[in-house]
Amino acid sequence: MSLIVKDLIVDHGAIRAISGVSFTVETGKLSAVIGANGAGKSTLLRTLSGLNKAAEGTAHWGEHNLLHGKPESHVRSGVSHVSEGKSVVAELTVEENLDLGALWRRNKKEAAETKQQVIELFPRLGERLSQRADTLSGGERQMLAIGRALMSKPNLLLLDEPSLGLAPLVIEQIFQTIRGIVDSMGMTVVLVEQNAMGALKIADTAVVLNLGSVATSGSAADLIADPAVRAAYLGY
């Protein structure tokens, strides 16, 4: 199973946000999507999870057509999206936020096991189960958002700027956790990041978006070494 996006075009009203993007992510790999503000990174993820509609092109996760159907049905097919800006429900407790991701799952015993795994992955959440989500720190909220996504037992995880607004130390921790999820669970991850260096360091492959098109793509190691990428996105 792999994620294959071909010639994807997405419009925001009269504005073309994504103009002909193609890339592939192999199973069990972590792919970073980097680029400046307004490059279309979030739009790309929102289209893959069904929140935005594509104008043209195709996107498949294995057999599953990502451009067809609502976000809630994609989740049920193993695609979880953590949207930008700490995607948790502030008014609910930590535990309710986690449970939310597994409500649709029929097998409650398995769902309870997943919850146990998520709490092992993020022990801080385990200590705060009955607290309201809006009492958490930024880093904890991001952990909760990822935890909620994992509760849906995905095999493709779409992460939108998990580092946004976090302290450098916390960012480091979140990035390591994401890498860990890929390595230990065999998860496939698309990581959209403004923090290009941090993302490239943990990624296997990367796509650089510029004004809605792919500027360059390849292995993360090659991109870090690419002088053009370094100058434009890594700042040295």
Told to check if 87 binds another protein by CB under 8 A, we report: yes
Told to check if 26 binds another protein by CB under 8 A, we report: no
Among 49, 114, 142, 163, binds another protein (CB under 8 A): 49
Which span sits near another protein by CB under 8 A: 34-42, 52-60, 92-100, 161-169?
A: 92-100
Q: At residue 105, what are phi and psi to the nearest 5 degrees?
A: -75, 130
Told to check if 104 binds another protein by CB under 8 A, we report: yes
Told to check if 81 binds another protein by CB under 8 A, we report: yes
Among 92, 129, 170, 224, binds another protein (CB under 8 A): 92
- Judged on CB neighbours under 10 Å (0-12, 13-18, 19+), 162 is buried
Report how far residue 236's alpha carbon sits from residue 229's, in angstroms, rounded to the nearest whole number: 9
Told to check if 170 binds another protein by CB under 8 A, we report: no
Told to check if 99 binds another protein by CB under 8 A, we report: yes
What's the min distance (Å) between Cβ of 45 and another protein?
11
Among 91, 120, 127, 183, binds another protein (CB under 8 A): 91
Helix (H), strand (E), coil (C) string for the chain: CEEEEEEEEEEECCEEEEEEEEEEEECCCEEEEECCCCCCHHHHHHHHCCCCCCCEEEEEECCEECCCCCHHHHHHCCEEEECCCCCCCCCCEHHHHHHHCCCCCCCHHHHHHHHHHHHHHCHHHHHCCCCEHHHCCHHHHHHHHHHHHHHCCCCEEEEECCCCCCCHHHHHHHHHHHHHHHHHHCCEEEEEECCHHHHHHHCCEEEEEECCEEEEEEEHHHHHHCHHHHHHHHCC
What's the min distance (Å) between Cβ of 230 and another protein?
34
Which span sits near another protein by CB under 8 A: 35-43, 143-151, 191-199, 203-211?
A: 143-151
Which CB, 26 or 91, lies closer to another protein?
91
Told to check if 72 binds another protein by CB under 8 A, we report: yes
Told to check if 80 binds another protein by CB under 8 A, we report: yes
Which span sits near another protein by CB under 8 A: 17-25, 88-96, 181-189, 208-216?
A: 88-96
Q: 151, 97 in Cβ contact below 8 A?
A: no
Which span sits near another protein by CB under 8 A: 1-9, 83-91, 195-203, 215-223?
A: 83-91
Told to check if 88 binds another protein by CB under 8 A, we report: yes
The residues that touch another protein, with contacts defined as CB under 8 A, are 49, 51, 70-72, 75-76, 80-83, 87-92, 96, 99-101, 103-104, 134, 148-149, 151-152
